[in-house]
Structure 1
């Protein structure tokens, strides 16, 4: 069964909460049909019902653990078969566990690496198979401002995985695949379930709707790279790349 006449289809992973959940709402409000997947299907199905009732968008859902590469391929291709096409894939699923390396908490770092990078690689593989077959598509990788430099302590592995996503995106752009657009989005401090433990008055923190609105705007423009929200993260991003590591360490 194909999508509604004229509607484009966005596939979003990690869509049951946080940035993924709000992206689903905002893309549907912009007229997209949705393919949503996450581990928590109860929340996912409730979101699908909410979105369909409020926007009329078609919403298909599936349970998915992105660390299961075979399941990623099966779910992505299943969505493509249901809709007949997938116009955009947003590689969003991720976790924020972490501990200083060598402190006996390797499980947290390995889980982060498996979900945020190996899982993202599996999603990218599946997305590119669909896009190559279609001859077009838009791949969006959700990275982080922390990807711009090495981070310390509990952020070390997380930042490294997000830097890996940025490198993955650049490699695909360098390949210059016909019909493929590749975007990497670097969110700054946007309130979500992942950072709910962070101090509410953290400087430059914006609410989920505001932050995701900036993300969606950048994605819709198909920017190769976007720091969002633009203020203050564009100038901060420039500074992070240029400042000595000892200064960056004090900033983070």
Structure 2
């Protein structure tokens, strides 16, 4: 193999290609929503509780991660994912990062389904982005004596706090999705653990946080179905 080509492939393999791929997917989806409205990607994919409860459209726990309401919504989330995703992917590795991102987004959408006002539509990658914030924040526990990590954790924690407070007063923001996403990231960051630092993660704690994630998703699903009158 040509040396330059091999070096390029290695750089791509070691780079944040999952982050780039996720941004590419939501970019393609964004363009399709506005250039091919006949596909009805947005109506078919946003989190919309009645369709989940009455028509069992459970894919809506996943598809909202890649949909956005307007250019500003898409651009802000893409920029945040670009800068934060690279850092978290470098720490957790590609497969772990992808699992963190998707599963955090799923729990965020489950919180939206359960706790938002009935009939609210929501979408956006911010549920998953708050998850990767949470996965980074959990590192503050395992790297108490690392000033660089602690400094970044404090910055991320302040950003998350301000975002949640701002979301309380802005009705257009899915605050429950953000809360569910960050809880998912905190739990999954501990469950999945860092690939090069497994010794500091208690196996018992990892199991407990993994079970807690599944338990919370189940509670959200049951509570949402009850809200729509599907459970007695």
Q: TM-score, normalised by structure 1?
A: 0.33
Which one has a larger percent helix, Structure 1 or Structure 2? Answer: 2
More strand by proportion, 1 or 2?
1
When normalised by structure 2's length, the TM-score is 0.35
Q: Which has the higher contact order (CA 8 A, sep 6+)?
A: 2
